[in-house]
Amino acid sequence: MTILVTGGAGFIGSHIVDALLADHHDVHILDDLSGGFRHNVPSGATLHERDVRDAGIADLWQEHGFEVVFHLAAQMDVRRSVADPRFDADVNIGGLLNVLEAGRSRGLKHVIFSSTGGAIYGEPEYAPQNEAHPLNPLSPYGITKLCSEKYLHFYHHTYGITWSALRYGNVYGPRQNPHGEAGVVAIFAQRLLAGQPTVVNGDGLQTRDYVHVRDVVAANMAALSKRYLGTVNIGTGVETSVNQLFRIVRDTVAPEVEELHGPAKAGEQLRSILSWEKAHRELDWKPTISVDEGLRETAQWFKDKDTVNSP
């Protein structure tokens, strides 16, 4: 198939591109490189350095006839979404609508959308949170992801484009960008390796469901083959505190560093934990990499990368 991956030069997107190329698809990447990197683009994929909001992307459809889109291009920083909700909506909702409008009359059949389980539900009314949990996002970022899912439902109902929305937990792994606020594993690893102060916000007891990028890629590939219609969580069902996460990463890359705590971030969600039962039922998917194993492997990847890049 001819497939477009928006945000394909980024962390998760580039791993998905690798998997699609291994399956011998014709893969194109749409990425403005504001958060992704040219060195993440593998040989065999075609990079179109364009903003996802660029109205001219309809020309790409005219030329290549993409059948499937993996939509990952997004403003993904929760704190930036709070500070600038207008920009967040412009990229996350406006960008998706631009892609759907470009493709709907030019052969687009299916969209696999990277949604969020960590931000779309809000604080748990019960745990683990399944797809029937009330949707009470606490950030503009979570709101735009929920709105995007509703637009995908509209485009299916009106134009027949099928869609799968994968609601990720906190994804981590090799290639994660340590700059910005999204990706605490990468941030901790990078700062520890650089000998910079590494601060845990608040008491560090806030928890997240950390899922390894290889498991996320497997879920995306399952969604492609099964063309599941609707939403599904992609997580581990395991809560890991920020304190636990910090200590695993610290013990791998810089065990001599002491643990520092700073002020809590206003409005930060305290808990997130996702049920993956529906993903197992609908996609025949389940998480395979334990948090402890995955965090140590990822921290080691950053350590090895730092060693290679050192003078």
Region label for 134, one of left (φ > 0), alpha (ψ between -120 and 50) or beta (otherwise): beta
Largest CA distance in the chain: 59
- Type of residue numbered 110: H
The position carrying tokens 């389940």 is: 286
Nearest Cα to Cα of residue 130 among 235, 219, 230, 213:
235
Give the C-alpha distances (Å, rounded to integers) separating 143 from 88, 237, 263: 10, 23, 26
Pair 74, 91: CB distance under 8 Å: yes
Report strand pairing: 68-71 vs 170-172.
unpaired
Which two structure tokens, joined as six digits, stand for 155? 């485009």
Give every CB contact of residue 306 below 8 A, 6+ residues apart in sequence. 193
**Calpha distance 48→14 (Å, rounded):** 14
**Polymer length in residues for the chain:** 311
Q: 141, 155, 172, 228: which one is catalytic? A: 141
Q: How far apart are the first and last CA of the chain?
A: 43
Active site annotation includes 141: yes
Pair 199, 134: CB distance under 8 Å: no
**Calpha distance 124→221 (Å, rounded):** 29
Task: Count the neighbouring beta carbons within 10 Å of the beta carbon of residue 246.
Answer: 23
Give the residue numbers annotated as catalytic, written as ranges: 141
